[in-house]
Chain A
Amino acid sequence: MIAGISLYEILTITSILFFVGVYGFITRKNLISVLISIELILNASVVNFVAINKYLYPNALQGVVFSIFIIAVAAAETVLAVSIIINLYRQISSVEVKDTEIMKY
């Protein structure tokens, strides 16, 4: 717990982080930036878990343990996404979202 900061401030920050991520996912034009936006969303959840655990339910460590697993899974997801992006880059020499729309409707 941090002195002088209540749970509300932390939850406000994580909510902002979450919605910044969603906004970035929708508006970014580069695939790597879209990936970074997803990381923001996942990290918002990590901070949420740790803060809620610490402030509200300090007797058990469920939230903290969960956050460790989220970090690991997020790493796996990033690796996979980056490898697919690299494979795409080899074929079209671009990582722009607008170049990945040969399939539509």
Chain B
Amino acid sequence: MTLDSFSFMRHEILLLAVIILLLIAEIFIPKNKKSNIVHLVVLLFGVHTVVGIFPMGEESLFGGMFRTNNLIHFFKNVLNIGVFILLLQSTDWIQEKIFSQNRGTEFFLLLFSSLLGMYFMISAGDFLMFYIGLELSTLPVAALTAYETSKRISSEAGIKFILSAGLASGTALFGITLLYASSGSIYFDDIMQLIASDNLTILAFILFFTGLAFKISLVPFHFWTADVYEGAPISVASYLSVISKGSAVFILMIMLFTVLKPLMHIWENLLYLIALATMFMGNLFALRQQNMKRFLAYSSIAQAGFILLGMVTGTQLGTATVVYFVMIYIFSNLAAFGVVQAISLKTGRENMNDYEGLYRTNPNLSLVMMLALFSLAGIPPVAGFFGKFFLFTAAASKGYYLLVFIAVVNVTISLYYYLLVVRAMFIRTNESAIPYFKNKIYMRLGLIIAAAGILVLGLYSPLYDYIYELSSSFCGCDL
């Protein structure tokens, strides 16, 4: 390993530099000019995102603890773009509500630390790196969830999140110890060679699975989701549902398809059952929600169920479709949460019937919301349709026809409650509708990028081919 090996850690080193620069800026910028720090944050993170896009080769560093390949690099860029949109959407809230309490830089520091943890988790080559990445990505988010310290609901969400996260990671850790007992190594490469499907390994796998299932909020471990999303600041709920879930999906897929591939006959059935339960629970509970944040929480649980459809296959096609779907899901959910945030910031209203008549007063916002909900539901012109369609194709190609059928039924159920919001916005009228307001430039930019992403990702097909090609470089994936 030489000094230029560090160039393969470009994302991590750059992000660390951004964090340190922000710390310095926090010390030296005088109090009355503090709120200008958001411009610095957007600039720095923008540079980080752009520099991160330049291509990078495949490499394994630190004796195999850290590895990177084209698919991992691509996914880190997707995460970067997602966080960039999130930053644009959250700057108004930070400037108006948080800097007046003389804090605000911590928000970005915690957010970036959590993102750094996700990079390490995605690139992990052994369980130690994986565990530290997992914790580094979870703990700052718990602090962010309890960020509005004057609100009781926020602290409550924070304590619920950190206690359930602690239980989940503790269980996963116990699973890792048992995997270590059965194979004698914590390196993924060694474990892949040595793993056998005896009872100890199966127990270890199931315990380990809970840790990631918690982050993706799959069904037996989803109880925290709605409460935490409702209590947390909207930017944080958006981050949890999009970036945190996306990275956990990605690493779970990598683990299942490479390290735990010999256990495929076990996890196939497990994922099959969990996918069914997750889709039904998410959709049926979403039907009765009135609060938009809770509604989006259950919708994101249901989406996680759809993602499992691609994961259950264990093929290159499955990998490509899952990454593609997660990418589309990131843009759609960011757009939906962005609109909820814009409205909540200006009026403080978060209920579904507050959205009645929104189209007459704020046509642009309701158009973005409609695009996002159509994409989440999977209606043809927008990207979400293609994402779901490819997922179903992947599952059908392995012969899971029943699962695909049930998923289609679930899409129909989900269409009902997504259209409830669209109906409220476009058809219903209301005297006390939310009055017209104009968003600031960053928020508008964030919504426009997210909406453009929803439209372009569906129409620009070479992107899917590109992801499919990248997935082949991804080790251990036989066709």
Residues of chain A having any CB pair with chain B under 8 Å: 18, 21-22, 25, 31, 34-35, 38, 41-42, 44-45, 48-49, 52, 56-57, 60, 62-63, 65-66, 69-70, 73, 76-77, 80-81, 84-85, 87-88, 91-92, 100, 102-105
Contact = CB atoms under 8 A, between A and B. Distances in A.
Given A25-B167, A66-B186, A88-B155, A45 B173 contact: yes
B163 to A, nearest CB: 6
Interface residues of B, number: 38
Given A102-B152, A103-B227, A85 B173 contact: no
A73 B166 CA distance: 10
Interface string B130-173: 01100100010011001001001101111110110011001101
Contacts of B163: 25, 31, 34-35, 38, 81
A62 B157 contact: no
Interface of B: 127-128, 131-132, 135, 139, 142-143, 146, 149, 152-153, 155-160, 162-163, 166-167, 170-171, 173-174, 176-178, 180-181, 184-186, 226-227, 230-231
Given A41-B171, A73-B135, 14 more contacts: A22-B171, A38-B166, A41-B167, A42-B170, A45-B170, A45-B174, A45-B176, A48-B177, A69-B128, A88-B158, A102-B153, A103-B153, A103-B157, A105-B226
Contacts of A63: 177, 180, 186
A62 B185 contact: yes
Contacts of B184: 56-57
B154 to A, nearest CB: 9
A85 B162 CA distance: 10
Closest 8 CB pairs of A and B: A41-B170, A48-B177, A38-B166, A88-B155, A45-B173, A84-B158, A103-B227, A52-B181
18 contacts: A35-B163, A38-B163, A38-B167, A48-B174, A48-B178, A62-B180, A65-B128, A66-B131, A69-B132, A70-B173, A73-B131, A76-B135, A81-B163, A84-B158, A103-B157, A103-B226, A103-B231, A104-B227
